[in-house]
Amino acid sequence: MTDNSQNRAFRLEDLWSGPMRIVLVLGLIVAVFAIMRFDTFASFANVRNIGMAGAILLVMAVGATFVLITGGVDLSVGAVLVFSGVIAAKVMGAMGSDGWEVAAIGLLAAMAAGTAWGILNGLLVAKAKVPALVVTLGTMGAAQGLSWIIAGEDLRDVPYVLGDTVGVGSIGGIPVLVIIAIAITLLGGLMLQLTRFGRHTFAIGSNPLAAREMGINVDWHLVRVYGLAGLLAGIAGILSLARYGSTTIGGHATDNLQVIAAVVIGGTSLFGGRGSVFTTAVGVLIPATLASGLIMVGLNTFWRDVAVGVVLVAAVYLDQAGRRLTR
């Protein structure tokens, strides 16, 4: 009755038209730089640097992937990262010691602060029916402003152990930050692909009315999705503290756009219903790889912004073209 699509012969165009396209793009970028500057670009130290540069963005991008798949958007992640870092630094500073227990409390504080902003975003989007763009623009400003008000200036109350192990440490040569980001990506990816939570996320983005008519609690699910994005921004906040040893309040103004760009370059649809956490990871790596490679071949790093812009528009164009084909 149905043809067996799994048994269909492998075709090259499937590879190019499918979600794996972006992996090929990354492979191409890597190949070009590797050929031009093999010893430096393909060195372990450089790969490590690229990973470090992308790790914190990737943690936020995992949450943003869920949000975009519901058809929403979250502009507040960078500000929530900063706010969570400020709260964690305040809490850890008040405890005043340098041990692991302080770091653990700081992590919990950052997670709670991030989740609270996320839930607020979700409630405003789902219950108050304010467009996500406006809600998260508002909470972005509020979280950023409150961060300055609470902190006054950049705080540096980061326990030594946190910076030493999570911030710059590595296990078997792999930076701990990268290991954490990979673990969160795997968890997020499996959650999206395998669980009912993930299935409802896709369903709501694909057709919110249908999801409602079929008995899915759409409002509550949206609150949880934005809450998850906030939680991950909170975790990113403590990771950022660990890495920079400071709350870097002024340093995350464009995180939100970098995160959204990474998710969209990774093939997740801005219109909801389609996407993958794993290709988001590739979407994070592309700008990081371009930045590193362009320096090595002696080009101005601003070319990275140009190249990322081109890739971003191309990714959305291909998503649109794909939709026209199937509808």
Which residues bind to another protein, rule: CB under 8 A?
A: 1-3, 5-6, 194-197, 199, 202-203, 205-207, 209-211, 213-216, 273-274, 323, 326-327
Nearer to another protein by Cβ, of 40 and 206: the residue is: 206
Rounded to the nearest whole angstrom, what is the least distance from the CB of residue 209 to another protein in the complex?
7
Q: Report the DSSP beta bridge partners of residue 171.
A: 174
User: Which C-beta is closer to another protein: that of 175 or that of 272?
Assistant: 272
Q: Least distance to another protein from the beta carbon of 115, Å?
A: 19
Question: In the bound complex, what is the minimum distance in angstroms from residue 267's beta carbon to another protein?
Answer: 13
Q: How far is the CB of 21 from another protein (least distance, A)?
A: 17
Least separation in angstroms between residue 42's CB and another protein is 38
Q: What CA–CA distance (Å, rounded) separates 322 from 327?
A: 9
The span from the CA of 63 to the CA of 61, in Å, is 5
Do residues 89 and 150 touch, judged by C-beta distance below 8 A?
A: no
Q: Which is nearer to another protein, 39 or 326 (CB)?
A: 326
Q: Least separation, in Å, of the C-beta of 231 and another protein?
A: 17
Residue 172 or 215: the one with the smaller Cβ distance to another protein is 215
The nearer residue to another protein, 183 or 194, going by C-beta atoms, is 194
CA distances from 85 to 104, 146, 147, 208, 252 (A): 13, 12, 9, 34, 12
The minimum distance between CB 274 and another protein, in angstroms, equals 5
CB of 235 to another protein, least distance (A): 20
With respect to another protein, which residue has the nearer C-beta, 205 or 245?
A: 205
* Least distance (Å) between residue 275 CB and another protein: 9
Which residue, 130 or 216, has its beta carbon nearer to another protein? 216
Task: For another protein, give the closer residue by CB, 6 or 298.
Answer: 6
Q: Give the residue from 17, 6, 8 showing the smallest Cα distance to 325.
A: 17
Provide the phi-psi class of 187: left if phi over 0, else alpha when psi is between -120 and 50, else beta.
alpha
Spell out the long-range contacts of 141-149 with Cβ–Cβ below 8 A and sequence spacing 24 or more. Answer: 141/79, 142/79, 143/76, 143/79, 143/80, 143/82, 143/83, 143/117, 144/79, 144/82, 144/83, 144/249, 146/83, 147/79, 147/82, 147/83, 147/86, 147/247, 147/249, 148/249
Burial class, 7, CB count within 10 angstroms (exposed 0-12 / middle 13-18 / buried 19+)? exposed
Q: How far apart are CA 18 and CA 33, in angstroms?
A: 25
Rounded-to-integer distance, Cα 240 and Cα 302, Å: 24
178 to 188, 189, 245, 246, 317: CA distances (angstroms): 15, 16, 17, 19, 31
Nearer to another protein, 71 or 287 (CB): 71
Which single residue is written with the structure tokens 């492979």? 27
